[in-house]
Chains A and B, each alone.
Chain A
Amino acid sequence: DIVMTQSPDSLAVSLGERATINCKSSQSVLKSSNKNNFLAWFQHKPGQPPKLLISWASTRESGVPDRFSGSGSGTDFTLTISSLQAEDVAVYSCQQYYSNPLTFGGGTKVEIK
């Protein structure tokens, strides 16, 4: 099974500042045949279902603000919120879809400082 490890567990960032969340997989999620990283990022707010933000490590879903960006390849990935807004307070989780069992990181709670 591919283990997904996120860091930090939580972070507090001032409004308008940058938030950076890291995600590491225990084995590569880069498929050599198509050069795609099988990695997604979700935003999860209390009382709501998780929302898909980014797939293929760096492709934003339609309607996701461009302050959210994903980067990385192989085993190391980053989600960056370039200018934190109040509505971005949530838990963010990475997830690999390279192989079953599908696995999530433990989540990173983002708060306002």
Chain B
Amino acid sequence: EVQVVESGGGLVQPGGSLRLSCAASGLSLSTYWMNWVRQAPGKGLEWVANIKQDGSEKYYVDSVKGRFTISRDSANNLVYLQTNSLRVEDTALYYCVRSRGWIMDVWGHGTTVTVSS
């Protein structure tokens, strides 16, 4: 079965950092665009970032540019989201999502990031 599993979330103070990880089973992450999508409490889905198969292209939503960095470790079949200078409004459930072509088709169950003092 193809699945992705996120980890690395937690409680952090404003201004802090977390590194979110995405591991996969049943698929090689390096053959797909990979995304991070988040959902804040009571809000809709928000795409955060994505990365091309070879890591040569990365895109971010404006609200996280300069603070978040997406990367991949193809040797270990992992994708990361480094989150720095966290704000209260970054509190959300963060999903790792595979893109089949352009289509986001395989979602993990998410990891929760809570930014609070």
Contacts and interface: CB of A to CB of B under 8 A. Distances in A.
Nearest to A103: B47
Interface in B86-100: 95, 99
The secondary-structure label for the interface of chain A is loop
Interface residues of B, number: 20
Interface string A19-60: 000000000000000000010101010001111100100000
Given A100-B59, A101-B59, A101-B61, A50 B103 contact: no
B81 to A, nearest CB: 15
Contact of A101 (B44, B47, B103, B104): B47
A21 B2 CA distance: 30
A105 B44 contact: yes
Contacts, number: 52
A55 B104 CA distance: 9
Given A93-B45, A101-B59, A52 B102 contact: no
Contacts of A101: 47, 59-62
B105 interface: yes
B110 A102 contact: no
Contacts of B44: 91, 93, 104-107
B105 A104 contact: no
A55 B107 contact: no
B109 interface: yes
Nearest to A49: B107
Interface of A: 1, 38, 40, 42, 44, 48-52, 55, 61, 91, 93, 95, 97, 100-107
Give me the 8 closest cross-chain CB pairs, A-B, nearest first: A49-B107, A102-B47, A97-B102, A100-B59, A104-B45, A107-B44, A106-B44, A55-B103
19 contacts: A1-B62, A38-B102, A40-B103, A44-B45, A49-B108, A50-B95, A52-B105, A55-B103, A55-B105, A95-B47, A95-B104, A97-B99, A97-B104, A100-B59, A101-B47, A102-B104, A103-B47, A104-B44, A107-B44
